[in-house]
Amino acid sequence: MSYLFTSESVSEGHPDKIADQISDALIDHFLAFDKNSKVACETLVTTGQVVLAGEVKSDTYLDVQQIARDVINKIGYTKGAYMFDGSSCGVLSAIHEQSPDINQGVDRGNPEDQGAGDQGMMFGYATDETENYMPLALELSHRLLKELAAIRRENNEIKYLRPDAKSQVTIEYSDDNVPQRIDAIVLSTQHDDFIKPKSNSKEDREEANELMLEKINFDIKNILIPRVVENLPAHIQKLFTDQITYHINPTGVFVIGGPHGDTGLTGRKIIVDTYGGKGAHGGGAFSGKDPSKVDRSGAYATRHIAKNLVAAGLCKEVLVQVSYAIGVAKPTSINVETYGTATVNKTDGEISKIVESIFDMRPYFIEQRLKLRTPIYSDTAAYGHMGRTPETKEVTFSNPMGQTVTETVETFTWEKLDYVEQVKSAFGL
């Protein structure tokens, strides 16, 4: 019998994502000036206010308030009407030095013996149902909001959009786990109060609100959706039928949004950041953490493994788990689950042992393999850390001492299919 599966995404202007982006901008600036920086920073955003807190061990000094303001302005919170904008909001920093008790478990005389920055388990997932080996419902949810943000910045086809938005896509699957059609799309977007009532009467206000909602509904279906569909592969385009149930701004007008409408915190969108509820999640957030924190580096490394296993043809779907003890380099466990889709005559336990021999999962080797001690994290902080396209680009950072650093970096290295041949060789594929 067919079944439904749903994933959601949130825009870069969502309060929690604002917090993630500020935290990761701080990580990038610290790493740009000191590659050995140890950082764990959290951000809170609310009406007219940003609070930064966390622990840092670094040889550089940064204007963290200005970094936060720059991120907020870049997202699009630039108007006083939003009750939160980068130029006028207060920014309070409560960042302090990292505990030596934690640091002693990470730093070692021999870098290869670097211990894990914390205990915990991390998961990586991949499936062959999309070209980037991501779950389809999450991929479409991200695409809806990325395109909506592009339309907002163009300020051409739709002129009333504000930065805050959420999406959700429900897919119908067949018994053998193949996507059949899109069952429902939910999209809520913040917007200007762009149709004013004729008077302040309840009837006129309700009429103005209804007219706004009709316009938003029309524009999402006739401008946003076609732009998203246009850039999809043909077999995914076919899933967009006239049987989709749309819920567009289902609660009504959405003028009050962003941090004025809802407080945002770093690390509250970990399912949006990963696989949309497919596979599993160890519970640790990514943003605001340097790569010595295995919550981040371990999750990236397991995604790298999972994607290369599926791309090599070892299986159609896979979940990879790794776990660590704080201060210990060698993982306490590595486990591979192929959901019965393996193409080799081996148990998942046997597959796990071979995978362990291919990928060194000690923290130092993850950092080196995936080039994680570089300022690449701001790009990860909205629209998912997984399923993105690797890119080589030049980035520039400045600090209050007048120093400027320009560096060529590789982004999303954990998405590279650079171990496919090694996997094929190890499994005789």
Task: Give yes or no for a contact between 182 and 242, defined as CB atoms under 8 angstroms apart.
Answer: no
Annotated binding site for L-methionine: 55, 98, 262, 293
Task: Give yes or no for a contact between 97 and 55, defined as CB atoms under 8 angstroms apart.
Answer: yes
What angle (nearest 5°) sits at the alpha carbon of residue 190, between those of residues 266 and 218?
140
Annotated binding site for K(+): 42
Nearest to 366 by CA among 421, 306, 288, 292: 292
Annotated binding site for Mg(2+): 16
DSSP string of 214-262, one letter each residue? HHHHHHIIIIIHHHHHHTS-HHHHTT--TTPEEEESTTS---S-HHHHS
| Dihedral angle, C-alpha 195, 200, 201, 206, nearest 10 ° | 20
Annotated binding site for ATP: 14, 164-166, 262, 268-269, 285, 289
**What residues form DSSP beta bridges with 336?**
320
Order of all β-strands in the sheet with 317-324: 120-127, 317-324, 333-337
Task: State the alpha helices, DSSP H only, in 95-224.
Answer: 100-103, 136-154, 202-219
Work out the burial of residue 201: count CB atoms within 10 Å of its CB; fewer than 13 is exposed, 13-18 middle, 19 or more buried: exposed
CA 187 to chain centroid, in Å, comes to 18
Annotated binding site: 14, 16, 42, 55, 98, 164-166, 262, 268-269, 285, 289, 293
